[in-house]
Amino acid sequence: MKQVMLRNGISVPAIGQGTWHIGDDPRMHDQEVEALRTGIDSGMTLIDTAELYGYGKSESVVGDAIKPYDRSKLFIVSKVLPQNAGRKNMRRACETSLKYLGIDYLDLYLYHWRGSIPLSETVECLQELKDSGLIREWGVSNFDTRDMNELARLKYGENCVAVQDLYHIGSRGTEYSLQPYLRKNNIAFMAYCPLAINGTLRGGIIGNPVLQQVAAVHNASVQQIMLAWAIRGGNVIAIPKSATKEHTLQNAAAGDIALTDEDLKILDKAFPAPDREVPLDVE
């Protein structure tokens, strides 16, 4: 599995595991645990979840899945809701997530999206959690370049190690200014929905003849090409969700696909990068 180096020197897999909707149906529990363990065994040791996902149900499934593994070999990410991202509730929210996960610390804790609590207060609380050892690092989600510039001006703002936003071949807005900003400041970029699984563009992407052509050349699925494309630059962490062992294995195999310059050229033509600042996509 290809790796991405974080600013703190920790190496994480370029393809991790997302868990949105994991835990929603109790009848799927054993299958979802098997899928997550298959991912871990395949090198996808980064698992992303959030207190929002089933309000603890997703974190609980992740906790069951990781029980047999050496905690130090895993990279567990969760997220705090905007209404809990202040001095009144953040520590309690973090401790609740840890309880559901059955672990003592998070490798990365993300502010899920901006709410009414001042960003300065949120950042101070995140830093306090890090200083207390409940989290190793912190970051943000659904932030654009303007948000990041505001964050950088705050006390402790320079300690943000990761940004998680929607990113896939049909939604490339973050390439215009945000991703260059993150590379310049050595901040990791995490791509959620890299398969456009919840996006309105999904139908047009999956059926695109150019993607299908590239997939055929590599004896791969369109979804595998989308994942290989997302991590092509070596500095993006994709977190596709899978609820089955078979799908998880397909996701893991995408990490071994090496797209050629010609592949990238024709994909760029079919799915052009933006030539101006565009609003941040969330679906």
Q: What is the pLDDT of residues 220-241, one digit of tens each?
A: 999 999 999 999 999 999 999 9
Distance, in Å, from the CA atom of 168 to the CA atom of 98, rounded to the nearest integer, reads 30
Give a yes or no: residue 263 inside a domain: no
Give a yes or no: residue 210 inside a domain: no
Q: What is the CATH number of the domain that holds 155?
A: 3.20.20.100
Average pLDDT on 149-160 reads 98
Length of the chain (residues): 283
Give a yes or no: residue 193 inside a domain: yes
Parent domain of 232 = 3-199+226-258
Give a yes or no: residue 83 inside a domain: yes
Average pLDDT on 103-111 reads 98
Distance, in Å, from the CA atom of 14 to the CA atom of 120, rounded to the nearest integer, reads 30
So what's the pLDDT on residue 250?
97
Percentage of the residues of the chain whose pLDDT score is greater than 70: 98
Give a yes or no: residue 160 inside a domain: yes
Give a yes or no: residue 9 inside a domain: yes
Give a yes or no: residue 268 inside a domain: no
Distance, in Å, from the CA atom of 61 to the CA atom of 57, rounded to the nearest integer, reads 6
State yes or no: is 53 an active-site residue.
yes
Is residue 148 pLDDT above 90, yes or no? yes
Set 53, 100, 181, 192: catalytic member: 53
Is residue 201 pLDDT above 80, yes or no? no
Average pLDDT on 210-222 reads 97
Q: How many domains does the chain have?
A: 1
Give a yes or no: residue 254 inside a domain: yes
